[in-house]
Amino acid sequence: MSHLNAAPPGHLPAGRTADVDTLVRTLLLSAVFLLLWISLRPFGRLAEVQDVTDAGNFVNQVGYSLLFVLIAAWCAAHQPRRLLLLLRPILIVTLTWCAFCVAISWEPQLSARRFAFALIVISIAAMVMLVPKNVRQFSDVLTAVVMIVLALCYFGVVFAPSVSIHQATDYIEPELAGNWRGVFGHKNEASLVMVLFIFIGLFVSRVRGAGLGGLIVVLSLVFLLFTRSKSAIGMLPVVLFVSFVMARTRRPRVGIAFTLSILALLSIFTVGSVFFEPVRNVVDKILPDPTFTGRTEIWPFVAERIEQRPLTGYGFAAFWRTPEVVYGMGGGEVWANAASHAHNGYLDLALTIGIPGSVLVTLWLVVLPMIDFYRSPSEQSVAPLKMLFLRVCIFAAYEACLESTLLPEGANGLFLFAAAFGLRFISMTRVMA
């Protein structure tokens, strides 16, 4: 009581101030991840005709812009200099190159709009890593948000299957009928998030308890299986094994070389099967679907376009579903020119920001996070968080052999960016200490 009375006018007691601070941090974190995984337009109806020019989701852009303002205001009041630790040279060079590709894009207005949104998403991903008070709060918020998203996904499957499960009446890809997608717009997006939730469940099991983390893993795994996404399901055990090996390899060069060698093998046996006959013969013998669900039709189409603009590409996020591609590059390749992306993250980057841009993004989001993992402290308090971020980066790198998971359009890359920034921040705080 005396402490309360002694407080200066207009000031809260220390305990209440701490409670308010924790509440604000929790609300900011929750808003970021709820917006990321639920979006402002969940349970979309796929039976409706969609505009091939894809002008963008104005509502989503406004939502992220408002969130950016809020989290930027919070960071401005809480040691904003910590953000300087995340401004590594490779990031500055990468963003500068992307801006250059915007300027010379064949659709400059479209590239500029999408690059501006990408900067907002990347900024949010960087700032959100400064919000949690500690690993436990980060774990608690992730647990709550993930359980909310899973509950909505299962609720939709049971009570609103027409907007939660792909239907034969879908305007695009009616052949996916029966595949679960939950609150997401496509079963591939749902599968990627479910793999991420499995990683989060393993993280929660080490921080908060095996029971709660195990529940998240089981619910996410069941949903993942019903998405029937072969690439995500197949990559999950590979990533778990590789991350296990990396965590127990004391020599960083050996661990990184091992991880990148697996990536090279995946690239050879996916895209390489289109261009090298010996590889194609092996793939034909060992895989039930050597076309990778029709991807072998689109990769030559992409490779031909990259040859035409190898250095700068066609413009940041400005190739797929543009009128020039949909109506001007048919040539009988209906699947290729009507696709929404290259189904390979590295090819997509080379197509839009050139081969140099693809190399820069790969260094930023794949190679350097592995180096940061080994440079980070080995204390048990941060080990689960390091492993979560490492698994996210490895999964994105491997899944990019079959999907566009590196620097994806929209907000889908936010958690990947956050993982890369998180590993950087953990390693730099150790160096600064």
The three state secondary structure string of 337-350 is: HCCCCCCCHHHHHH
User: What are residue 180's phi and psi, to 5 degrees?
Assistant: -75, 145
Nearest Cα residue to 129 out of 405, 386, 431:
386
Query: Which residue from 199, 202, 162 is spatially nearest to 180, judged by alpha carbons?
Result: 162
d(CA 181, CA 163): 8
Q: In whole angstroms, what is the distance from residue 65 CA to residue 411 CA?
A: 12
Helix, strand, or coil (residue 180): strand
**Whole-number Å distance between alpha carbons of 112 and 76:** 26
Per-residue pLDDT of the chain (433 residues), as tens digits, is: 333 333 444 454 555 666 898 999 999 999 999 999 998 889 988 876 554 444 446 778 888 999 999 999 999 999 888 899 888 999 999 999 999 999 999 999 999 999 999 999 999 999 999 999 999 999 999 999 999 999 999 999 999 999 999 999 888 788 999 999 999 999 999 999 999 999 999 999 999 999 999 999 999 999 999 999 999 999 999 999 999 999 999 899 999 999 999 999 999 999 999 999 999 999 998 988 888 888 888 999 999 999 999 999 999 999 888 878 877 675 555 556 667 788 999 999 999 999 999 999 999 999 999 999 999 988 888 999 999 999 999 999 999 999 988 888 767 789 999 999 999 999 987 544 3
CB 218 within 8 A of CB 251: no
Round to whole Å and give the CA distance between 216 and 201.
5
Of the candidates 319, 420, 309, 276, the residue with the CA atom closest to the CA atom of residue 361: 420
Could you tell me the residue range of the domain that residue 226 belongs to? 2-432
**Number of compact structural domains in the chain:** 1
Which stretches within 250-322 are classed as H helix? 252-269, 272-275, 277-286, 295-308
CA distance 162 to 299: 32
- In this prediction, residue 49 carries a pLDDT of 53
Phi/psi at 165 (5° precision): -130, 135
CA dihedral over 251, 252, 253, 255, signed as positive or negative? positive
Neighbours of 408 (CB within 10 A): 22
